[in-house]
A and B are shown apart, each in its own frame.
Chain A
Amino acid sequence: MRNPQLNQHGELQHLLTLDGLPRDILNAILDTAAPFTEVAEREVKKLPLLRGKSVFNLFFENSTRTRTTFEIAAKRLSADVVNLNINTSSAAKGESLLDTVDNLCAMQADMFVVRHAASGAPMLIAQHLQNTGRDHIHVVNAGDGRHAHPTQGLLDMYTIRHFKKDFTNLTVAIVGDVLHSRVARSQIAALTTLGVPEVRVIGPKTLLPTEVERLGVRVFHDMCEGLKGVDVVMMLRLQNERMNGALLPTPQEYYKIWGLTAEKLALAKPDAIVMHPGPMNRGVEIDSAVADGAQAVILPQVTFGIAVRMAVMSMLGSR
């Protein structure tokens, strides 16, 4: 079975997941993103790379932040952007996912940026486009279920590379709700592909997926043990609906044991950076003093996110 995001020449046709994506493609995206960070500093923040192309933001699940950054990225590349919040339109009328896609294809879409609550939905769209011979249309996964959030994973890699230069001597800890996190899966895939020698996941057993160690990570339940000597701390967001129930007793207990405080962060290397994909729950997974502290690189992550999304869209759209 061919990896559905690569074409027959092994080039990127869609960006669906970082799992199984070759290291040279990951590096190419990061390298392409670098000059785009400077575009943001300019007076005129526009490049003509996607002029005349139509990018459809297909959001089957609510998101303001991710949709906005994709929109900004596409506009900076001079694309025409159409935003569709499908949970309030077609899906409610009973239209199937692929019918929606076919309709938008008929409106001459060049690229779909897809967010969906079900794992694998963007892959289904990509396979459908391939089966119907529409290879000129590209799909970018903007987050599907628990499966993948590849542009988030890439911007995290960009951030780490920016601050740490080299991946091959790092210890990275991912803390929190790995079970429900598409971000964590993309981070793990990218970190292991880029040669990080030790990737740790830290959390209670209820929030770590079965056989997660098979993804190439070391499992810690004790936060203090897990943070010892790490170069990068990647916090995950804890969804509100998971704070009280069968997964966790209360947000208070969670904060006490797995919340990132200055004391716990002191166990990491002195120059360790702290990352978070946002939006943060201050006082649940992260203490404000850390979130706003000198080691936090959470806002640069957002800025780099636009450059990385520009890189992905320009690489796909100019093909």
Chain B
Amino acid sequence: MNILISNGRVVDPANRGDAVQNVYVSGGKIVALGQAPDGFVAERTIDARGLVVAPGFIDLAARLREPGYEYRATLESEMEAAMAGGVTSLAIPPDTDPVLDEPGLVEMLTYRAKKLNRAHIYPVGALTLGLKGERLSEMAELVEAGCVAFSQANVPVVDNTVLMRALQYAATFGFRVWLQPLAPFLSRVGHAHDGEVSTRLGLSGIPVAAETVALYTYLELARTTGARLHITRLSSAAGLALIDQARAEGMDVSCDVSINHVHLCDMDIGYFNPNCHLVPPLRSQRDREALARGLAEGRIDALCSDHTPVDDDAKQTPFSESEPGATGLELLLPLTLKWADGAGLALLDGLARITSDAAKIIGITKAGHLSVGARADVCVFDPDAHVAITREGLRSQGKNTPFLGMELPGKVRYTLVEGQVMYES
């Protein structure tokens, strides 16, 4: 199908482009910008006047809950959420049940996703079998099955010998390893940032050292093994400083942060709001500011939703007994816009963190930009319209987000995947 997206403000961070022009889509690809290619007849024209035309967003962490947690969410429900959020590529953490540690499982998930014909998925395989931190997974086989990297999700490896071997093995092939900086024992006992708020509320605290101790270990093991490291979901200023230091030495390490952590801090827990129960915990205001600034300055490479749909039953409990996590796919764009605006960033630079920069971390080359020949994954949105975040409005099966009840900027009008309109509003 030939589609003309006419007169939109085309913002393409990868090509540093920001201009009003037409986008021509044909055969699932972008075939031209500005001038129509010879003989192009649009079967459909999307009038994008006053709207932004951007590459479809790339999310570094979206839990779709399949297999194993279908009572929380299904591929169907979460793919709908992705489309409504303009998110066209998703990296999937391995903490499903069973864990993504077998090529067959990964193939099955990829097949199911393909059949739904919505967002593209990029599974992140388990670094160790069952995420148990004991035996290595078949990394080479998993990559053949479609895995783009390896991680332990939120389950730290306790035995550093195993972690070192896993990094060495991954480095043998040049596979990237994504690690969540959580020191096993320091992170296990708490439910909130160890500080004034946890002290006041009587919640057991997770000290910043849970992040920094893990980072010291990971960075040192990456130095000695030569592994390519990506650090997921930074939560603290001190953690970011360690990444800065490693990079200053010339280390090849990247990192990301979640939409929750650049906007919220421990004070938002208020009167025990379980929607603010997250991993890693929301830290102090100073940490939040450091993360938002680090992301603006490019010291943090990408922003992600850390989409974690949780069923109501698991949230309607006392804070410490509630399941951590928040839904995020439909909030990725609004919270990116809000953060970029607050940081005084141009739209182009703000959107880079959820398009071109995120693409680099996964290793996606044919999407995340609007070059001629690229996969026509496109999001057309109204940057000035505000959306109210409500339980009813969210398509995700998870209604758990700290942003419920807020008005946020950025309304997705069209989502195209491989040149097909998969969502419009």
Q: Count A-B pairs with CB separation below 8 Å.
A: 76
Per-position 1/0 for B62-101, Cβ under 8 A of A: 0000000000000000000000000000000000000000
Binding stretch for chain B, among A82-90, A142-150, A229-237:
A142-150
Proximity bits, B190-207, A CB within 8 Å = 1, else 0:
000011101111111101
Q: Does B313 contact A (CB under 8 A)?
A: yes
Chain B contacts for A4, CB-based, 8 A: 271
CA distance A211 to B317 in the complex (A): 27
Q: How far is the CB of B265 from chain A (nearest CB, A)?
A: 14
Instruction: Report B-chain residues with C-beta under 8 Å of the C-beta of A98.
Output: 316
The residues of B that contact A147 with a CB separation of less than 8 Å are 201-203
A119 touches B203 (CB 8 A): yes
- A145→B202 contact, CB < 8 A: yes
Bound CA–CA A185/B196 (angstroms): 12
Contact in complex: A119, B318 (CB < 8 Å): yes
Give A75-133 interface residues, CB cut-off 8 Å to B: 96-98, 116, 118-121, 123-124, 127-128
Q: What are the interface flags for A128-166 relative to B under an 8 Å C-beta threshold, 1 for contact and 0 otherwise?
A: 100000000000000011111000000000000000000
B110 within 8 A of A: no
Q: Decide: A210 near B317, CB < 8 A? Known: A1-B271, A120-B201, A148-B202.
A: no
The count of chain A contact residues (Cβ–Cβ below 8 Å) is 29
Best-surrounded residue of A1, A4, A120, A146 (most CB of chain B within 10 A): A120
In the docked arrangement, what's the CA distance between A168 and B330, Å? 53
Residues of B within 8 A of A211 (CB): 195-196, 199
Q: Identify which of B195, B202, B204, B272 contacts A185 (C-beta below 8 A).
A: B202
Instruction: Find out whether the CB atom of B196 lies under 8 angstroms from the CB atom of A214.
Output: yes
Residues of A within 8 Å of B201, CB to CB, are: 119-120, 147
Note all chain B residues with C-beta closer than 8 A to A120: 201, 203, 271-272, 318-320
Q: Does A210 lie within 8 Å of B207, measured CB to CB? A: yes
Binary interface encoding of chain B residues 301-321 relative to chain A, with 1 for a CB under 8 A from any of its CBs, else 0: 000000000000100111111
Task: Name the distance in Å between B187's Cβ and chain A's nearest Cβ.
Answer: 15
Question: A96 contacts which of B196, B272, B316 (Cβ < 8 Å)?
Answer: B316
Bin chain B's interface residue count: 20 to 34
In the bound complex, residues from chain B placing their C-beta under 8 Å from that of A146 are: 202-204
A185 lies within 8 A of B317 (CB) = no
User: Is A118 in contact with B207, judged by CB distance below 8 angstroms?
Assistant: no
Per-residue contact bits, chain A 1-33, to B (CB 8 Å; 1 contact, 0 not): 101100000000000000100000000000000
Give the interface centre of B202, B320, B321 by most chain A CB atoms within 10 Å: B202
Q: Mark B246-282, 1 if CB is under 8 A from A, else 0.
A: 0000000000000000000000001110000000000
Contacts of A123 in B (CB 8 A): 271-272
Contact with B along A30-65 (1 / 0, CB 8 A): 000000000000000000000000000000000000
Q: Are B202 and A182 in contact (CB under 8 A)?
A: yes
Q: Are A124's CB and B203's CB within 8 A?
A: no
Please indicate the chain A residues that have their CB under 8 angstroms from the CB of B205 in the complex: 209-210
Q: Kindly report which residue of chain B lies nearest to residue A185, judged by CB atoms.
A: B202
Q: Is A212 an interface residue (CB 8 A)?
A: yes
What sequence of 0s and 1s flags, for each residue 159-183 of chain A, a beta carbon within 8 Å of any chain B beta carbon? Answer: 0000000000000000000000010
Q: From residue A61, how far is it (CB to closest CB) to chain B in Å?
A: 12
- Also in contact, A127 and B313, with CB within 8 A (given A185-B200, A211-B199): no
B residues contacting A by CB (< 8 A) are 194-196, 198-205, 207, 270-272, 313, 316-321
Top-6 shortest CB links A-B: A146-B202, A147-B202, A120-B272, A118-B318, A209-B199, A119-B202
Please name 18 further chain A to chain B contacts, defined as beta carbons within 8 Å, in addition to the given A118-B317, A123-B272, A210-B195, sorted by A numbering: A1-B270, A4-B271, A98-B316, A119-B201, A119-B319, A120-B201, A120-B272, A121-B318, A124-B316, A128-B316, A146-B203, A147-B202, A182-B202, A209-B199, A210-B194, A211-B199, A214-B196, A214-B200
